[in-house]
């Protein structure tokens, strides 16, 4: 089974970007952690981070037939992108939405997500650990599904 991890705009700056909000763990650290955990779970895993909406959309289209589960932090596109939502719905791949920060404890515009009502689950406010829980949950979902 294959897991595809999608990270949206500005997450390439993790580690140095508003560390009081997003922590000091880098995206590289998160991806290495997930790579190790996936191999322990017997899952294959791949990653994309992009600041461009169309690149994320194309990558999600290409995941069709390849990925069994998506873990996505759409970052600011969470609050803006019908197109990215439609890409996920179009592929039908189940996904978990992750946010490092607790989006409900911040500016009101961060409370609305174009993804949450279609997600298997939403994890927010746990920092990098959110990705760890998402991967563990994806593994459970996939082992229950066959």
3-state SS class at 105? helix
Residues in 78-137 that interact with ligand DQA by CB under 6 A:
78, 99-101, 103, 110
- Which is the catalytic residue, given 2, 54, 61, 99? 99
Interface with ligand DQA (CB under 6 A), residue from 76, 118, 121, 126:
76
* 117 burial type by CB count under 10 A (0-12 exposed, 13-18 middle, 19+ buried): exposed
Binding mask 33-72 for ligand DQA (x = CB under 6 A): ----------------------------------------
Total of chain residues touching ligand DQA, rule CB under 6 A? 10
* 18 burial type by CB count under 10 A (0-12 exposed, 13-18 middle, 19+ buried): exposed
In order of 43, 59, 84, 100, 113, the CA distances from 75 in angstroms are 25, 16, 11, 9, 10
Catalytic sites, residue numbers: 22, 99
Where on the chain is the footprint of ligand DQA (CB under 6 A)? 10, 73, 75-76, 78, 99-101, 103, 110
Which amino acids are annotated as binding site for substrate, given as ranges? 73, 79, 86, 100-101, 110
């Amino acid at each position: 089974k294959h897991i595809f991890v999608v990270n949206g705009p500005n997450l390439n700056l993790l580690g140095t970007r508003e560390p009081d909000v997003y922590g000091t763990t880098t995206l590289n650290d998160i991806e290495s952690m997930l790579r190790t955990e996936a191999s322990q779970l017997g899952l294959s895993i791949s990653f994309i981070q992009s600041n461009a909406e169309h690149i994320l959309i194309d990558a999600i289209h290409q995941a069709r037939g390849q990925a069994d589960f998506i873990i996505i932090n759409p970052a600011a596109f969470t609050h803006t992108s019908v197109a990215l939502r439609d890409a996920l719905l179009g592929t039908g791949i189940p996904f978990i939405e992750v946010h490092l920060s607790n989006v409900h404890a911040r500016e009101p515009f961060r409370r609305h997500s174009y993804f949450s009502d279609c997600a298997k689950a939403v994890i927010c406010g746990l920092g990098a650990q959110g990705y760890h829980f998402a991967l563990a949950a994806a593994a459970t979902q996939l082992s229950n599904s066959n």
